């Protein structure tokens, strides 16, 4: 099958279970998910040139690969419970899972006191299949949970060590210039038949004896042997002297290149969400409070962990980082309401004395018929302070945009979350 370089033909998988120790690729409890276009991870390379040196030329002559980290994001504009729980569990750092019915689990998520956050592993396939990558030592740096026009959406910013494995190889094979067959050192080429193996040999090139330029050798067939024998359509030259053939190819893939099972869940809808303010969480449920169904024009919950990715002198010689710590957690809420009363304006006028609780309830389908347990989440923020609530215009209507900051309530460190789905555990 011909390789497809459409983004939609790619795949992304994550491991729900934390790495132990962090930076060690995790294979257990992995899941393949569907993500919005643009999701994925990439290396942030630090490559420098020598323009800052006195070299006898004003034009740089060399570059130096210093180090790298990883960065990217994952998002679902139609959020599914599995990703929602994964993001919140890894962002806050503590998660205890309990079976609550035949196939339903409750995941209680609370903030981690330790600044050394758990890491997760991510695997991605670019297209079908140009290349595959496995990244370890990744963290949820920040997230945004929003109530959109029709759906609940979730997006997460990822920062990682940049500890990366790939499924491609560059090999230098020494052979006579007039050779029409070259043999790899030890690898087989990935592919169930000759056509697939041909697709997986990207380039063969060499410099002929006495030449300074590259000549590209077309490949006519690739054997299934280990190591593989590559047959060239034409020889590079006529000499029997040895030259170096540079071969770019995909060797027989290791186990990590096989993607875990994909779990299909229904996305969470706006119409099944509720926002309640001024309720009281007693450790089990939210009591009282005011439901804001028709007043809410928009709602978003955002978090930042200020993850610090550091390179360390560990004598490894590796370009990736070797440590990551949380620099400071901040959680904020933005609620835009119709201006129908002066309650929020009064609270803003007395910001030091006035605070409010916010409870976001997200519901999907019932997990086990008759159980009364639904896919979704209960997000309780017992104490929020109002930073700003300016009066604005939304369309033709007056509104107020409440910028809230989540405060330490003295019991739950500001946040307690209960998520429900069919997955047994996170972290």
Residues 347-387 have pLDDT tens digits of 888 889 889 999 999 999 999 999 999 999 999 999 999 99
pLDDT recorded at residue 422: 97
Q: Give residue 1's pLDDT band: very low, low, confident or very high (50, 70, 90).
A: low
CB atoms within 10 A of CB 78: 16
pTM: 0.94
pLDDT recorded at residue 199: 96
Residue pair 327/162 in contact (Cβ under 8 Å)? The answer is no
Q: Is the pLDDT of residue 342 over 90?
A: no
What would the mean pLDDT of 193-202 be, rounded to a whole number?
A: 96
Could you give the CA distance from residue 297 to residue 392 in angstroms, rounded to a whole number? 12
Could you give the CA distance from residue 86 to residue 79 in angstroms, rounded to a whole number? 11
pLDDT recorded at residue 264: 87
Q: Is the pLDDT of residue 258 over 90?
A: yes
Could you give the CA distance from residue 418 to residue 81 in angstroms, rounded to a whole number? 11
φ, ψ of residue 410 to 5 degrees: the values are: 90, -10
CATH assignment, 169-252: 2.40.30
User: Of the given ranges (220-229, 252-261, 390-399), which has the lowest mean pLDDT?
Assistant: 390-399
Q: Where are the domains of the chain?
A: 7-167+261-421, 169-252
What would the mean pLDDT of 323-335 be, rounded to a whole number?
A: 97
Could you give the CA distance from residue 25 to residue 37 in angstroms, rounded to a whole number? 25
pLDDT recorded at residue 283: 86
What would the mean pLDDT of 184-208 be, rounded to a whole number?
A: 97
What would the mean pLDDT of 283-293 be, rounded to a whole number?
A: 87
């Amino acid at each position: 099958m011909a390789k497809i370089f459409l983004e939609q033909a790619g795949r992304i998988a994550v491991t729900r279970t934390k790495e132990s120790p962090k930076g060690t690729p995790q294979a257990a409890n992995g899941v393949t998910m569907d993500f919005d276009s643009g999701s994925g991870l990439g290396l942030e390379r630090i490559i420098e040139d020598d323009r800052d040196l006195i070299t006898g030329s004003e034009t740089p002559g060399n570059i130096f690969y210093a180090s790298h980290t990883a960065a990217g994001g994952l998002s679902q504009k139609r959020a599914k419970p599995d990703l929602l729980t994964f993001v919140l569990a890894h962002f806050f750092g503590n998660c205890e899972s309990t079976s609550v019915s035949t196939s339903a689990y409750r995941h209680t998520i609370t903030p981690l006191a330790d600044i050394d956050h758990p890491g997760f592993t991510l695997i991605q396939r670019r297209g079908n299949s140009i290349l595959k990558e496995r990244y370890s030592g990744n963290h949820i740096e920040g997230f945004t949970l929003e109530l959109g026009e029709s759906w609940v959406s979730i997006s997460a910013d990822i920062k990682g060590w940049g500890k990366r494995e790939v499924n491609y190889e560059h090999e230098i094979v020494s052979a006579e210039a007039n050779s029409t067959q070259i043999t790899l050192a030890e690898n087989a080429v990935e592919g169930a038949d000759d056509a697939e193996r041909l697709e997986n040999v990207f380039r063969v090139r060499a410099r002929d004896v006495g030449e300074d330029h590259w000549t590209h050798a077309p490949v006519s067939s690739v054997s299934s042997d280990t190591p593989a024998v590559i047959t060239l359509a034409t020889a590079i030259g006529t000499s029997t002297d040895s030259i170096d053939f540079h071969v770019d190819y995909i060797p027989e893939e290791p186990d990590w290149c096989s993607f875990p099972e994909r779990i299909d869940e229904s996305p969470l809808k706006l119409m099944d969400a509720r926002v309640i303010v001024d309720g009281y969480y007693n450790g089990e449920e939210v009591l009282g409070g005011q439901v804001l169904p028709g007043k809410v024009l928009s709602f978003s919950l955002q978090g930042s962990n200020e993850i610090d990715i550091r390179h360390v002198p560990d004598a490894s010689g590796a370009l990736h980082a070797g440590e990551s710590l949380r620099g400071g957690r901040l959680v904020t809420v933005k609620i835009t309401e119709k201006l129908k009363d002066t309650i929020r304006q009064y609270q803003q006028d007395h910001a030091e004395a006035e605070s409010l609780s916010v409870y976001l309830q997200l519901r999907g389908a019932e997990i086990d018929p008759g159980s009364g347990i639904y896919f979704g989440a209960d997000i309780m923020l017992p104490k929020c302070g109002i930073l700003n609530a300016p009066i604005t215009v939304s369309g033709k209507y007056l509104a107020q945009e409440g910028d809230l900051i989540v405060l330490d309530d003295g019991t739950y460190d500001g946040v307690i979350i209960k998520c429900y789905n069919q997955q047994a555990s996170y972290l």
